[in-house]
Chains A and B, each alone.
Chain A
């Protein structure tokens, strides 16, 4: 006759993802690659912003892109047309990228030392917050056609971010969006969160965003590798 017994597990449910993320992070650090996890709602202009970033980046800054979407390779094609190697991950029914998928994509992309790897996550402000991909920073993109209260509605994402980009600011004259209020709401969730106003269409604020990337490269050691190369 079988007897019931209690087994202590004490194991993190996301432990497997976190182990893959740790491997990715070590690999990025060892190779001087700055990995940025870009997160937003669908339609915030992430891909357009990336295309503009690729066009305006310094000539000697290699850029790679991992595109996450449930379906289609349309975004990866747009990125390649803009001039950067890109790989598309289709998550199928999945609502987020995980560290294992990213690790595989990196094996195919093989980013060179001193480069920036943008990981464009699935458009979703909920689930991707919980899945570490091994990135150096999470960057949230909030467009001015959304609500100022989004940081309060989706606090986990903003709590995990190191930078928020307020995108589509060229549309502000046509809207009642209060940028200061949106930033104040984001800072209620995370004190001192850095915010940059950008327009991927007109190029406004892009220099500040690129300067932030260069700074993050230096911190990640990517700048050092590039300078020595």
Chain B
């Protein structure tokens, strides 16, 4: 449901670009999705096909690049990579971690013709 709302936003961004960009068909849409962006990729793919129907990106290929989360460990005073928000620092085990990235939700590019 949430993913479908995101797909509807993607559709309106594509429609805006199509209206002023002079293209009729989108062959490929590339997204950048952060690991912590609370998006289920399978649900997003399903919603994408539904939301693109009857528009320039109907039948477009969806390419999703997952961006790993980044965090800062205050105990180690250095950047670390974590798998989940509640993970401890992989080096020292401390929970004094600040998540610094990984919630990106962007359309990067489109291949059109």
- Asked if residues B9 and A16 are in contact (CB atoms below 8 Å), the reply is yes
Which residue of chain A has the shortest Cβ distance to B29 in the bound complex? Answer: A9
Nearest CB on B from A18, distance (A): 10
Inter-chain CB contacts under 8 Å: number: 96
User: With A155-B86, A191-B96 given, is the CB distance from A126 to B17 under 8 Å?
Assistant: no
Name the A residues within 8 Å of B98 (CB-CB). Answer: 191
Nearest CB on B from A92, distance (A): 11
Q: Interface segment, A45-53, A60-68, A93-101, A173-181?
A: A93-101
Q: Is A108 an interface residue (CB 8 A)?
A: no
Residues of B1-23 contacting chain A, CB below 8 A: 1-2, 5-6, 9-10, 12-13, 17, 21, 23
A6, A94, A96, most chain B CB atoms within 10 A: A6
Name the B residues within 8 Å of A95 (CB-CB). Answer: 1-2, 5
Contact residue among A2, A98, A126 (Cβ-Cβ distance under 8 Å from B113): A2
A14 vs B12: C-alpha distance in the bound complex, in angstroms? 11
User: With A7-B17, A94-B5, A95-B1 given, is the CB distance from A12 to B106 under 8 Å?
Assistant: yes
Which residue of chain A has the shortest Cβ distance to B36 in the bound complex? Answer: A156
Name the A residues within 8 Å of B95 (CB-CB). Answer: 188, 191
- Asked if residues B85 and A159 are in contact (CB atoms below 8 Å), the reply is yes
- Asked if residues B6 and A13 are in contact (CB atoms below 8 Å), the reply is yes
Q: How large is the interface on B (under 10, 10 to 19, 20 to 34, 35 or more residues)?
A: 20 to 34
- Asked if residues B113 and A13 are in contact (CB atoms below 8 Å), the reply is no
Q: Is B41 an interface residue (CB 8 A)?
A: no
- Asked if residues A6 and B5 are in contact (CB atoms below 8 Å), the reply is no
Contact residue among A7, A11, A14 (Cβ-Cβ distance under 8 Å from B112): A7
Interface size on A, residues (CB 8 A): 34
Name the A residues within 8 Å of B10 (CB-CB). Answer: 13
Q: Is B76 an interface residue (CB 8 A)?
A: no
Q: What mask results when residues 5 to 49 of chain B are scored 1 for a CB within 8 Å of chain A, else 0?
A: 110011011000100010111010001000011100000000000
- Asked if residues A13 and B86 are in contact (CB atoms below 8 Å), the reply is no
Name the A residues within 8 Å of B12 (CB-CB). Answer: 16
Q: Is A189 an interface residue (CB 8 A)?
A: yes
Q: Is the interface of B mostly helix, strand, loop or mixed?
A: mixed
Nearest CB on B from A216, distance (A): 23
Nearest CB on B from A13, distance (A): 5
Q: Is A127 an interface residue (CB 8 A)?
A: yes
Q: Is B67 an interface residue (CB 8 A)?
A: no
Name the A residues within 8 Å of B1 (CB-CB). Answer: 93-95, 127
Nearest CB on A from B112, distance (A): 6
- Asked if residues B85 and A155 are in contact (CB atoms below 8 Å), the reply is yes
Q: Is B62 an interface residue (CB 8 A)?
A: no
- Asked if residues A13 and B111 are in contact (CB atoms below 8 Å), the reply is no
- Asked if residues A11 and B85 are in contact (CB atoms below 8 Å), the reply is no
Nearest CB on A from B98, distance (A): 8
Binding site for B on A (CB under 8 A): 2-17, 93-96, 98, 126-127, 129-130, 151-152, 155-156, 159, 185, 188-189, 191
- 8 shortest A-B CB distances, which residue pairs? A127-B2, A155-B85, A4-B113, A95-B1, A9-B107, A2-B113, A156-B38, A13-B105
- Pairs across A and B, CB under 8 Å, 23 listed: A2-B25, A4-B112, A6-B110, A7-B23, A7-B111, A8-B109, A9-B109, A11-B106, A13-B6, A13-B13, A13-B105, A15-B9, A16-B9, A17-B9, A93-B1, A94-B1, A127-B38, A129-B38, A130-B105, A155-B84, A188-B86, A189-B86, A191-B96
